Amino acid sequence: MEGRKHKHYHDEEFDHHLLIDTYAGRDKTDTKEELVKITMQKIFQFLSSGIVKGETLIDLTLGAAFCHLMVLADFFKEITILDSSDKALEETKKWLNKDPGAVDWNSFSCWESKAAVLLELKASGTLGRVRQRCTVKGETLIDLTVAPAFSHLMVAADFFKEIFILDSSDSTLNETEKWLNKEPGAVDWSHAAHISCGLKGIRWRSEQCRGKKQDSELLDAEEEKVRRTVKHFLKWDPTNDNPLGSVVLPQADCAISAWYFEASCKDHESYRNSFRKFSSLVKVGGHLILFALFNGTYYTIGDHRFSMLNYNEDVVKEVLQENGYTTVISEVYESKLNTHLVDYGKIGYIVARKEREI
């Protein structure tokens, strides 16, 4: 594949179901650790400070990913999903409808309990810093994330009443609808449900309990919580003056985006334009939660390599300032992945508060 021109997010070869299987599937322990487990932990950390709450969330994610939604669904009453890809919307629909072939997010071993996470945060001083600096709260949440991903929303659904999911991929929106409607072939997010249960202290011995009714009921409850909280999943086209077309959304208390911009934006100019429109969906006093992959060049889906926006944390901070935001939390770590499938140097977790309209 060397020497080939990298493809783009909206090319026909972009398979949103395969994207999830490659980077967040239950049998991919290395990428799952960095892109699923840690992401869910960070969302839980940001939202479980005791003052984090809300009712509505909007989600703009790259692809039909649901692992984050299993966390977020505990904090929001309603979720609206946006995407600019028909394929992503198809995968989302399959999962929501429990259709055969949907991505399975429901069966993965539980790493740690909520109590263990809180003890770790207290020992490191992180929880205290979050409580002092981060006052994320509200009723509505907007999510813009790569692929039909729901793992982080499994945490957020505990904090917000409403979640709105956005995406610029029709494929992601289709996958989102499939998952929400439990249609055949929807993405399997069972392993994210296991992680979400672990974060919230719902513990059991995976090997002994797997297949038992009580185990199944716990996992099903995590997924159903997200399905109840997601109120809309909408097409997001940042190339238009009004990316939502004729749809009018009230400004949200919180918006979250995971890896969407680096996968969907071709250059810094398109990134700034897309970010400006997305950040306008948040009300003054509300928050943005961003998960970013820095210094990246490409990611692989099947036999194809796709281009990744190459940017860093300084660019994000500049764009936040330009759009009336103050950075509350910024944590950047070196990537621990060693794989030919994707190339990026750092992973960032950022929380910013909107101080003014621009």
User: DSSP letters of 101-124?
Assistant: EEEEES-------HHHHHHHHHHH
The pLDDT of residue 108: 38
In words, the CATH class of domain 16-354 is: alpha beta
The pLDDT of residue 5: 67
The pLDDT of residue 131: 36
The pLDDT of residue 123: 38
The pLDDT of residue 70: 65
Handedness of CA 265, 266, 268, 273 (dihedral sign): negative
The pLDDT of residue 343: 93
| 325 secondary structure, DSSP code | E
Q: What span, in angstroms and rounded, lies between the C-alpha atoms of 193 and 104?
A: 10
The pLDDT of residue 77: 67
The pLDDT of residue 313: 95
| 39 secondary structure, DSSP code | H
Whole-model pTM above 0.75?
no
The pLDDT of residue 345: 95
Q: How many residues are recorded in the chain?
A: 358
Task: Give how far the C-alpha of residue 154 lies from the chain's centroid of Cα atoms, to the nearest Å.
Answer: 10
pLDDT < 50 positions in the chain = 1-3, 51-52, 107-134, 203-213
The answer to whether 233 and 116 are in contact (CB under 8 A) is: no
For the chain, what are the domain ranges?
A: 16-354
